[in-house]
A and B are shown apart, each in its own frame.
Chain A
Amino acid sequence: EDQVTQSPEALRLQEGESSSLNCSYTVSGLRGLFWYRQDPGKGPEFLFTLYSAGEEKEKERLKATLTKKESFLHITAPKPEDSATYLCAVQAQGGSEKLVFGKGTKLTVNP
């Protein structure tokens, strides 16, 4: 069974304090790994897709990396507006279209 585990569950940072969020996964052949951001009362907002080990993607203060067992979302010099829950999901090969999500990491960035 495909599984995604995210850690930590919650993370508090001071503005400017860089850190990383972890997403460990087991999947029967990875088709894609997805990072989303979710604000309270809103749906998940797409950030990145990673397809193969060694791949990296960047957007503003965020950088996502992928290995064969885990992905990291690195946040450099975060700002209060980066506060949100960050979700990781995997999609397996073999025709399945569903995303399997982790429970997320709730990030709070204090000014």
Chain B
Amino acid sequence: GAGVSQSPSNKVTEKGKDVELRCDPISGHTALYWYRQSLGQGLEFLIYFQGNSAPDKSGLPSDRFSAERTGGSVSTLTIQRTQQEDSAVYLCASRLYSNQPQHFGDGTRLSIL
């Protein structure tokens, strides 16, 4: 079946612009996660959704970052007033039940000029 789909696959933008990243989870998966992978760093947790609610936003690095999920499916991660340090690969994952592994998309590579 279809896996986690993320768009765009690549995004180049100028410092100070806002960007929106999209994640389509595996159909029926109730939980959705956003992570960030910077060069030389491990994957860093950003936010977790269960349905449309976000019980854990502890990884969002600043108030410039926000995310929402609608209809228990698609999620968007928004970064306002982008900075060069926001350059990274943003990965989305979803899972079905709490004892199931998280399955990842191929990410959006974000480059801030």
Contacts and interface: CB of A to CB of B under 8 A. Distances in A.
Contacts of B56: 96-98
A46 B48 contact: no
Interface residues of B, number: 26
A98 B33 contact: yes
Interface in A89-109: 89, 96-104
Interface of B: 4, 31, 33, 35, 40-45, 48, 50, 55-56, 58-59, 91, 93, 98, 101-107
Given A49-B101, A98-B56, A41 B40 contact: no
A44 interface: yes
A99 B43 contact: yes
Contacts, number: 54
Contacts of A96: 56
Nearest to B43: A101
Contact of A103 (B40, B101, B102, B107): B40
Interface residues of A, number: 21
A97 B42 contact: no
A97 B51 CA distance: 14
A99 B102 contact: yes
A43 B101 contact: no
B42 A102 contact: yes
A43 B43 CA distance: 11
Contacts of B91: 43-44
Nearest to A46: B101
B42 A46 contact: no
Contact of B103 (A46, A97, A98, A102): A46
Contact of B106 (A36, A43, A46, A89): A43
Interface string A1-26: 00010000000000000000000000
Nearest to B58: A98
The 4 lowest CB-CB distance pairs between A and B, nearest first, are: A43-B104, A98-B45, A101-B42, A101-B43
Contacts of B104: 36, 43-46
